């Protein structure tokens, strides 16, 4: 198999754009971001002035970079000092990016500190240069989002007033005439492309519209610059003129454009719900990616005014926060909003949403003649079986449902069928005993990404995100997705292995990506109180992924975990009890409060002082007990039943299965009140007594 088949064919990926100028260009203010993008060896320069005292104090260079994805992709030079390559040996990567592999790891944007050679900077005029060294066949550059010089104590030398942002509102089409815009649209849909800028790169079947939104709205939405579009056009074998025509077409689209290439889609943060639904996909921005997960606790408690110290909680923090931790946070009948709670996990940027190789270049006619392809857009797939042609595609169904008063109840099951068709399609190509390789991983994962990207396309184009009540009924969120394709995108969903053949070539990155897609599933659609057996989400499996990631990162995420546990409890319909076995409240079928005291999970909560851990355990247990005791034990264990064993069928029996009374000693040891422990014991005695009499096993 040729190497090109593993290359990224998403045409205009975030973080892979190029600069137009390479000369030293002094300006009154230093424009950001700096797009260091283009052919191998592309350089971007900036000039700055230092006073004598400032120059002597400089020790390091501070950078926030987007798209530096492998060692020695980028280099930096200050004045006439040597070029310094950026890799995990030459720079210090700030947390949390360092936790997830630094350069070459999961995060698309990193904060770096680079020690400068002695006397690298001078009093007076200085030049700093950023170079894109070489492509790996996927990238065509990177962006410097921010930079500064640091003193020995970490203080920044250049004031904020020295910098200015290149705002998209000022951008115009490179060629504004209608003929150029029309030509750009035609190129977007039909231009023949090379796989990459590597020598002897072959032609591919995919077109721009195949690996992106079919109308290019993603490039407009996330504000890819004209230069970036021209650069990526070069990368795929097009000319400067053709790139400018495509950029002009994108600029002319009359669509919202609230995002930026480096801001992860749907990154949670306070105030996101107050913005228009059209802004939701832009996310809350990188500023709401926390340094430590524990710092999210005040937001979980809806007390954002309480700020924790950088060195961890001190007694005053505990004194303020512990009384704010109540059972109401964790009520199964409640509706915790994960969209407003920031996390210390940077979610994938837009480039990480795009397929690295289109399914038709990965699988050929197996894909183009498949039901999986036809269910997206029957007109875009090859002529296949008559049964494929006789059914409406998703795009056709959604186009018919555009009217505000239309009945769209069939949209949710249509997405479900599309997910099943993907599983069936990949299941025929990847068998149980398949030997995985980096190439196979790339093809399988890209197929998952293609479905995800096209789901985003349709969700945006047909304004589905704000129609939760129409799509999912009375219990639904007002803004939501109506499928589980985000969770389906996780590498673990298709059993892509950890290690060198995992996504990103490492167990850590493979687990990071699984964690982020599951996290996005929680944020965008956690089930809307409408679970049925193990769908739409298998919460025990999902929670188990937290431990899988922790084993690789050694980075506890207590708040993100608690949000997931709470949404698992809230997946049940508040109006249905345990006598509705598939949809009602079944504590034996979900995560339970033992997660707070289980020896296998205690390390997750070590960032918190014991008083915080006690308050969290007591509140979670109280919420669980209050809900469980709403119903008599006879509802859980009826006399006549052909139901399965009530014990956990999972490897996570220490946190699921409903036998919470087995942890009374651990709850007592952490300081949970005697009254609550006794209440739990009495419940357990009554439950086990009836189970024994009815011969439940």
> Does 197 reside within a domain?
yes
Closest-CA residue to 588 (of 688, 691, 532, 660): 660
Asked if 142 and 180 sit in the same domain, the reply is no
Contacting residues for 299 by C-beta, under 8 A, at least 6 apart = 270, 340, 341, 342, 559
pLDDT of 203 higher than 90: yes
Q: Alpha helix (H) ranges present in 118-266?
A: 178-190, 208-211, 217-221, 226-235, 240-252
Asked if 220 and 127 sit in the same domain, the reply is no
Q: Which helix (H) or strand (E) holds 204?
A: strand 203-204
Q: Return the biggest CA–CA distance within the chain.
A: 88
CA angle 182, 353, 277 (to 5 degrees): 75
The encoded tokens of residue 361 equal 């270049």
> Does 159 reside within a domain?
yes
> Does 625 reside within a domain?
yes
* Domain end marker among 145, 166, 187: 166
Asked if 106 and 202 sit in the same domain, the reply is no
pLDDT of 395 higher than 70: yes
pLDDT of 695 higher than 70: yes
Mean pLDDT of all residues in 95-113:
98
> Does 363 reside within a domain?
no
pTM, two decimal places: 0.93
pLDDT of 70 higher than 80: yes
pLDDT of residue 649: 55
Closest-CA residue to 10 (of 310, 262, 353): 353
Q: How confident is the model at residue 578 (pLDDT cuts 50, 70, 90)?
A: very high
| Sign of the CA dihedral with 272 first, then 275, 276, and 279 last | negative
Rounded to 10 degrees, what is the CA torsion of 389, 390, 394, 396?
100
Asked if 34 and 88 sit in the same domain, the reply is yes
| Sign of the CA dihedral with 356 first, then 357, 363, and 365 last | positive
pLDDT of residue 432: 77
| pLDDT digit string, tens, across residues 240-251 | 999 999 999 999
- 536 preceded by cis ω (within 30°)? yes
Contacting residues for 640 by C-beta, under 8 A, at least 6 apart = none
Asked if 55 and 152 sit in the same domain, the reply is yes
* Domain end marker among 166, 182, 207: 166
pLDDT of 231 higher than 70: yes
Contact at 8 Å (CB) between 374 and 384? yes
Burial class (CB in 10 A: 0-12, 13-18, 19+), 685: exposed
φ/ψ of residue 652, rounded to 5: -100, 45
Asked if 221 and 158 sit in the same domain, the reply is no
pLDDT of 387 higher than 60: no
pLDDT of residue 640: 66
Burial class (CB in 10 A: 0-12, 13-18, 19+), 254: exposed
As a residue count, the chain comes to: 697
Lowest model confidence (mean pLDDT) among 30-44, 302-316, 607-621: 302-316
**Mean model confidence pLDDT for the chain:** 91
pLDDT over 70, % of the chain: 92
> Does 20 reside within a domain?
no
Asked if 100 and 117 sit in the same domain, the reply is yes
Mean pLDDT of all residues in 620-629:
98
pLDDT of 355 higher than 90: yes
Mean pLDDT of all residues in 112-128:
97
φ/ψ of residue 581, rounded to 5: -65, -35
pLDDT of residue 381: 59
pLDDT of residue 225: 98
Lowest model confidence (mean pLDDT) among 67-71, 117-121, 248-252, 527-531: 527-531
User: Could you give the C-alpha distances from 532 to 563, 570, 589, in angstroms and in order?
Assistant: 20, 13, 11
Asked if 105 and 181 sit in the same domain, the reply is no
pLDDT of residue 14: 35
pLDDT of 24 higher than 70: no
CA angle 110, 111, 115 (to 5 degrees): 130
> Does 176 reside within a domain?
yes
pLDDT of 87 higher than 90: yes
Q: How confident is the model at residue 697 (pLDDT cuts 50, 70, 90)?
A: low
pLDDT of 648 higher than 90: no
The encoded tokens of residue 319 equal 């004194």
| pLDDT digit string, tens, across residues 512-543 | 999 999 999 999 999 889 888 778 889 999 99
Query: Strand pairing of 30-32 and 163-165?
Result: parallel
What does the buried/exposed string (b/e) look like for 616-654 if buried means 16 or more CB atoms within 10 Å of the residue's CB? bbbbbbbbbbebbeeeebeebbeeeeeeeebebeeebeb
Mean pLDDT of all residues in 381-402:
70
Q: How confident is the model at residue 317 (pLDDT cuts 50, 70, 90)?
A: confident
Q: How many CB atoms lie within 10 A of CB 271?
A: 11
What is the extent of the structural domain holding 236?
170-252
* Domain end marker among 139, 166, 193: 166
Q: How confident is the model at residue 1 (pLDDT cuts 50, 70, 90)?
A: very low
Q: How confident is the model at residue 650 (pLDDT cuts 50, 70, 90)?
A: low
Asked if 46 and 150 sit in the same domain, the reply is yes
| pLDDT digit string, tens, across residues 671-690 | 999 999 999 999 999 999 99
Asked if 199 and 217 sit in the same domain, the reply is yes
| pLDDT digit string, tens, across residues 250-303 | 999 999 999 999 999 999 999 999 999 999 999 999 999 999 999 999 999 998
Asked if 129 and 180 sit in the same domain, the reply is no
Mean pLDDT of all residues in 338-365:
98
| pLDDT digit string, tens, across residues 132-157 | 999 999 999 999 999 999 999 999 99
Asked if 617 and 691 sit in the same domain, the reply is yes
Mean pLDDT of all residues in 337-348:
98
End-to-end CA distance of the chain: 53
Bridge partners of residue 149, in order along the sequence: 61
Helix, coil or strand: residue 669: helix
φ/ψ of residue 193, rounded to 5: -125, 155
Helix, coil or strand: residue 129: strand
| pLDDT digit string, tens, across residues 456-500 | 999 999 999 999 888 888 778 889 999 999 999 999 999 999 999
Rounded Cα distance between 383 and 417, Å, is: 20
Lowest model confidence (mean pLDDT) among 43-52, 383-392, 402-411, 495-504: 383-392
CA 395 to chain centroid, in Å, comes to 25
> Does 198 reside within a domain?
yes
- What CATH number does the domain containing 141 carry? 2.60.120.1200
Number of domains making up the chain? 3
pLDDT of residue 383: 46
Which bin fits 363, alpha (ψ -120 to 50), beta or left (φ > 0)? Answer: alpha
pLDDT of residue 15: 35
Mean pLDDT of all residues in 65-77:
97
pLDDT of 50 higher than 80: yes
pLDDT of residue 631: 97
């Amino acid at each position: 198999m040729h190497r090109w088949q593993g290359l990224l064919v998403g045409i205009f990926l975030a973080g892979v754009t190029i600069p137009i100028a390479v000369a030293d260009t002094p300006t009154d203010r230093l424009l950001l971001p700096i797009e260091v993008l283009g052919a191998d060896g592309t350089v971007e320069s900036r000039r700055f002035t230092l006073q004598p005292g400032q120059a002597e104090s400089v020790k390091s260079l501070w950078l926030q970079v987007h798209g530096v994805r492998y060692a020695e992709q980028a280099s930096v030079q200050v004045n006439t000092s040597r070029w310094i390559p950026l890799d995990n040996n030459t720079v210090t990567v700030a947390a949390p990016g360092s936790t997830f592999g630094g350069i070459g790891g999961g995060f698309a944007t990193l904060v770096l500190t680079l020690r400068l050679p002695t006397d690298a900077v001078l009093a007076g005029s200085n030049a700093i240069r950023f170079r894109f060294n070489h492509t790996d066949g996927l990238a065509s550059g990177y962006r410097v989002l921010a930079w500064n010089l640091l003193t020995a104590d970490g203080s920044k030398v250049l004031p904020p007033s020295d910098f200015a942002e290149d705002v998209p509102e000022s951008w115009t089409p490179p060629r504004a005439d209608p003929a150029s815009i029309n030509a750009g649209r035609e190129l977007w849909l039909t231009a023949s492309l090379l796989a990459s800028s590597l020598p002897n790169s072959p032609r591919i079947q995919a077109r721009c519209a195949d690996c992106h939104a079919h109308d290019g709205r993603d490039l407009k939405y996330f504000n890819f610059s004209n230069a970036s579009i021209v650069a990526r056009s070069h990368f795929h074998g097009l000319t400067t003129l053709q790139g400018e025509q495509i950029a002009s077409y994108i600029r002319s689209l009359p669509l919202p454009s609230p995002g930026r290439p480096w801001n992860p889609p749907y990154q949670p943060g306070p105030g996101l719900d107050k913005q228009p639904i059209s802004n939701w996909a832009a996310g809350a921005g990188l500023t709401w990616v926390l340094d430590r997960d524990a710092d999210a606790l005040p937001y979980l408690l809806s007390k954002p005014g309480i700020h924790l110290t950088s060195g961890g909680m001190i007694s005053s923090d505990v004194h303020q926060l512990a009384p704010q931790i109540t059972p109401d946070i964790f009520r199964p009948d409640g509706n915790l909003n994960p969209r407003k709670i920031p996390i210390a996990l940077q979610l994938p940027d837009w480039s990480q949403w795009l397929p690295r190789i289109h399914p038709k270049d990965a699988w050929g006619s197996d894909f183009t003649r498949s039901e999986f392809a036809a269910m997206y857009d029957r007109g875009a797939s090859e002529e296949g079986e008559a049964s494929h042609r006789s059914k409406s595609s998703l795009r056709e169904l959604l186009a018919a449902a555009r009217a505000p008063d239309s009945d769209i109840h069939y949209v949710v099951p249509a997405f479900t069928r599309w997910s099943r068709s993907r599983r069936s399609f990949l299941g025929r190509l990847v068998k149980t005993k398949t030997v995985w390789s980096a190439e196979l991983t790339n093809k399988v994962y890209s197929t998952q990404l293609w479905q995800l990207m096209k789901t985003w396309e349709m969700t945006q184009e047909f304004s589905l995100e704000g129609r939760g009540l129409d799509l999912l009924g009375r219990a639904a969120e007002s803004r939501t997705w109506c499928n589980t394709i985000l969770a389906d995108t996780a590498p673990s969903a298709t059993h892509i292995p950890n290690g060198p053949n995992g996504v990103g070539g490492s167990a850590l990155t493979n687990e990071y990506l699984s964690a982020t897609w599951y996290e996005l599933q929680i944020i965008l659609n956690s089930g809307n109180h409408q679970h049925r057996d193990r769908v739409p989400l298998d919460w025990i499996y999902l929670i188990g992924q937290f431990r899988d990631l922790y084993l690789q990162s050694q980075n506890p995420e207590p708040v993100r975990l608690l949000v997931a546990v709470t949404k698992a409890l809230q997946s049940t319909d508040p109006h249905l009890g345990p006598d509705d076995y598939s949809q009602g409240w079944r504590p034996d079928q979900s995560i339970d409060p033992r997660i707070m005291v289980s020896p296998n999970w205690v390390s997750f909560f070590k960032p918190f002082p014991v008083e915080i851990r006690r308050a969290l355990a007591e509140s979670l247990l109280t919420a669980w007990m209050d809900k469980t005791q709403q119903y008599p034990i006879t509802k859980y264990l009826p006399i006549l039943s052909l139901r399965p064993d009530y014990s956990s069928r999972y490897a996570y029996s220490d946190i699921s299965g409903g036998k919470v009374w087995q942890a009374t000693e651990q709850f007592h040891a952490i300081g949970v009140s005697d009254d609550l422990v006794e209440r739990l014991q009495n419940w357990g005695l009554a439950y086990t007594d009836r189970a024994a009499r009815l011969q439940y096993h």
